[in-house]
Amino acid sequence: MTAAETEQKGWLGRSVKRKEDSRFIVGRGNYIEDITLPGMLYMSILRSPFAHATINSIDTSRAAELPGVVAVVTGELLAEHNLAWMPTLSGDTQAVLATDKVRMQGQEVACVIAEDPYVAHDALELIDVDYDPLPVVTTPQAALEDDAPLIRDDKEEQADNRVYHWEAGDAEATDQAFAEADRVVELVTHYPRCHPAPLECCGCVADVNPATGKATIYMTSQAPHAHRTVFALVAGLPEQNIQIISPDIGGGFGNKVPVYPGYVVATAASLLLGRPVKWIEDRTGNLISTGFARDFYMDGKLALSEDGTMMGLRVNMLSDQGYAFADAQPSKFKAGLFHIVTGSYAIPAAHVVTEGAYTNKAPGGVAYRCSFRVTEASYFIERLVQTAAYELGIDPAELRRKNFIPPEDFPYTSATGFEYDSGNYEAALDQALERVGYRELREEQKLARAEGRLLGIGLASFTEVVGAGPSRQYDILGIKMFDSAELRVHPTGKAILKLGVKSQGQGHETTFAQIVAHELGIPPEDVTVQEGDTDNTPYGLGTYASRSTPTAGAATSVAARKVRDKARKLAAHLLEAAEDDLEWSEGKFSVKGAPDRAKTIQEIAFAAYTDHPEGMEAGLEAVNYYDPPNMTYPFGTYAVVVEVDRGTGRWDVKKVVAVDDCGTRINPMIVEGQIMGGLTEGFGTAAMELITFDESGNCIGSNFTDYLLPTSWETPSFELGETVTPSPHHPIGAKGVGESATVGSPAAFVNAVIDALAHAGIRNVDMPLTPDKVWGALNEAGLAE
């Protein structure tokens, strides 16, 4: 295939309006709660009020007698079927329903199955649980003290609360760099616990057919194929008898990657009762028990020469894992992807120590529009670089520029072992500085300070690592992280594309149809994209970690090219020409030098079923399981301008400029939508989102009146810019983008606030930067009014 043939111009880079909108704008989406089956029962979950307690007894008799209640399920019943515990994504264990103890507030203790959802809820109040409260551990620091109560006493090999201790990079080379450095700059900060909080909570409808044994489970799943495999392994059900259907999903952000107890109990109950069982989580259940995000304590040092050249980086990280280790954990990258902590900079030596501890909190750490620990690492380096700029008296933009990995050094191998595919960091920085008016702003800042006003300009020049992955390095529970596409062109030239990933709002039905259009000339409206049904799509690992375009997007391109290869053979037959004499352009093959002798892809598709040559299989379809040769490394520079009020600590965002480079943009409208959504969540993280706990382990942040999310009123407007540095290894040069803004923007917002206060010596305020905390810092520095 020639280069010209792969360049089917016209459909890449076009802001095609979304196909999926038509059902959502008329209220005809099909979300989990919209699914109703004949004879369906409803499940409610009783949760622990205590963060740590021994369960002496659970008396369900009064609940069971309530009219309308069909069954009450406890851990004891599940234990009889070896289902009381289940594996997490990182191979630890988590209770389905508590048997011995509860280890977090909100832990699942019992489930009621009833004819009516209100009755199921009523019955929870009739379950009597006798608890003996135990001492509670609410921080990872306390968890690692010698006399800390042992949280996972159920695990024989577990003698303390340490979950892991992993290192990456080269300790000796880093020590050497620090010994030779002129300056060492330190930052100690906490990336607080927050929650992805998709607007739709989790839920499922489990339907085990007693006659056939087939389990059809409709669930809020970002990874239906992986979940089917987990169900098969956990429940011992034959995998071909499990069908996971993930319908329209009301946002995910990683919250719908793990398997939660509710799914397992509903499925077990349906198996037991022979009727469909629906479980819809309430918001409090979602916030207190499902996959939280972040909660990393980070302490790091940057070694520099006097002129600002970065020489070495050392970071210690301690994470609060909750009572089970449930991160999505590539087994060959023990520090998660925290290695990306060297960011966009050519730092020759780095060493990272990561530790995790059990506490009496919900497990999680999977994500919030990015993790594998990329978010925390990126935040840390961008904050540390800004700190170094102040300490060395170098402009933060210039310190970054001086240390960027130069464009000619790609592919670049970082000190912690990643091979960055492509980048041009200075171009993104320059554009951001230009758009925000950086030089003028620095002048304005001086004038403002002279007037006693606090103006701040924050930058973040992030680099992400997304698109897992090369399967030799990335897996979840041993399942390798490839993805897949199956493309079938029907006789009338209309196509169905089936994918192993699953959209939660990312617009796959439009974007992936555009890839087919680009490769084959079949317009997007003639390509239906199907996802989320394990019996009807090829195996894949799902949608999270910005991986759909890098993996399934690439698979779509490759599958379409296979179809085109067969189409060439068919065209040669139809045109009575040699294959080599044909050329491809704009959706048709024509005879070289005789453009009138041509067959369109639609004519060729018809012939594939009606007039294919002897010896050729009928049909026009292809499958590809795409194993990417590398991750993709999207990047960008964000610039934020704020003014801080000295009387209240409130900060107003004056301007946000976001310059992103995600390689080739398939649908710029959708890409920009992803970026604006991520910026909004990044702003929320920086400004207000916080899941915290009191000393008894009570979760503060268990509903949307305590866990604050940004609304249209607080959220600033964003100005977007782009540079395009294609990924050299992706078939159409695209990189993942869904999470760039959540990764890059929190540091930019915080750096802006710190920049407003830096002249008074302030270097850090931990997120979220609520007015009271900022005022506290102002007060300490003598800036408060």
Partner 1 sequence: MITEANQATREITVTVNGQEHSLEVEPRLLLAHFLREKLGLTGTHVGCDTTSCGACTVLVDGVPIKSCTHFAVQVDGREVKTVEGLAQGGELHPIQRGFHEEHGLQCGFCTPGMMLVSAALLEENPDPSEEEIRWALSGNICRCTGYQNIVKAVQWAANETKEQA
Residues near partner 1, by CB under 8 A: 17-18, 20-29, 31, 33-34, 66-67, 117-119, 122, 125-126, 197-201, 248-251, 253, 282-284, 504-507, 669-670, 672-673, 676-677, 679-681, 703-705, 709, 711-713, 715, 717-718
Looking only at the bridges linking them, the beta strands covering 101-102 and 53-59 are antiparallel
Residue 90 or 286 having the CB closest to partner 1 = 286
Residue 19 or 498 having the CB closest to partner 1 = 19
Residue 122 or 160 having the CB closest to partner 1 = 122
| Residue 194 falls in the annotated catalytic set | no
Q: How far is the CB of 62 from partner 1 (least distance, A)?
A: 10
Query: Sign of dihedral through CA atoms 418, 420, 425, 428?
Result: negative
Which residues pair with residue 242 across a beta bridge? 215
In this structure, which amino acid lies at residue 752? A
Q: Would you give the DSSP letter of residue 17?
A: P
Residue 315 or 720 having the CB closest to partner 1 = 720
Q: 47, 294, 369, 561: which one is catalytic?
A: 369
> Residue 759 CB: number of other CB atoms within 10 A?
14
Residue 713 or 782 having the CB closest to partner 1 = 713
Q: Quote the CA–CA distance of 697 and 106 in Å, as a whole number.
A: 10
Residue 87 or 251 having the CB closest to partner 1 = 251
Give the residue from 619, 666, 634 showing the smallest Cα distance to 524.
666
Q: How far is the CB of 36 from partner 1 (least distance, A)?
A: 8
| Residue 514 falls in the annotated catalytic set | no
In this structure, which amino acid lies at residue 774? V
For the chain, the distance separating the N- and C-terminal CA atoms, rounded to the nearest angstrom, is 69
- Asked if residues 97 and 84 have their Cβ atoms less than 8 Å apart, the reply is yes
Residue 320 or 672 having the CB closest to partner 1 = 672
- Asked if residues 255 and 221 have their Cβ atoms less than 8 Å apart, the reply is no
Beta strands in 613-663 (DSSP E): 621-626, 635-644, 651-661
Q: Quote the CA–CA distance of 225 and 201 in Å, as a whole number.
A: 20
Q: How far is the CB of 748 from partner 1 (least distance, A)?
A: 15
Q: Locate tokens 């070896």: which residue?
A: 82
Q: How far is the CB of 705 from partner 1 (least distance, A)?
A: 6
- Asked if residues 785 and 646 have their Cβ atoms less than 8 Å apart, the reply is yes
Q: 370, 376, 431, 672: which one is catalytic?
A: 370
Give the residue from 474, 423, 407 showing the smallest Cα distance to 630.
474
Give the residue from 564, 567, 570, 556 showing the smallest Cα distance to 516.
556
* Residue 78, token pair as written in the block: 């599940």
Q: Quote the CA–CA distance of 469 and 628 in Å, as a whole number.
A: 6
Give the residue from 213, 260, 218 showing the smallest Cα distance to 240.
213
Q: How far is the CB of 45 from partner 1 (least distance, A)?
A: 14
Q: How far is the CB of 135 from partner 1 (least distance, A)?
A: 32
> Residue 183 CB: number of other CB atoms within 10 A?
15
Q: 222, 386, 504, 514: which one is catalytic?
A: 222
Residue 513 or 604 having the CB closest to partner 1 = 513
Q: Which residues contact 450 (CB under 8 A, 6 or more apart)?
A: none
| Residue 714 falls in the annotated catalytic set | no
* Residue 758, token pair as written in the block: 């830096």
| Residue 162 falls in the annotated catalytic set | no
Q: How far is the CB of 357 from partner 1 (least distance, A)?
A: 29
Give the residue from 230, 207, 194 showing the smallest Cα distance to 542.
230
Residues in the chain: 785
Per 3-state DSSP, the chain is made up of helix, strand and coil in percentages (nearest 5) of 30, 25, 40
- Asked if residues 428 and 661 have their Cβ atoms less than 8 Å apart, the reply is yes
Residue 424 or 504 having the CB closest to partner 1 = 504
Number of continuous H segments (helices) and E segments (strands) in the chain? 20, 34
Residue 610 or 705 having the CB closest to partner 1 = 705
Q: How far is the CB of 127 from partner 1 (least distance, A)?
A: 13
Q: Quote the CA–CA distance of 463 and 389 in Å, as a whole number.
A: 19
* Residue 363, token pair as written in the block: 């497990």
Give the residue from 359, 390, 388, 354 showing the smallest Cα distance to 372.
354
Q: 382, 643, 672, 739: which one is catalytic?
A: 739
Q: How far is the CB of 136 from partner 1 (least distance, A)?
A: 26
Q: How far is the CB of 260 from partner 1 (least distance, A)?
A: 18
Q: Which residues are catalytic?
A: 222, 369-370, 739
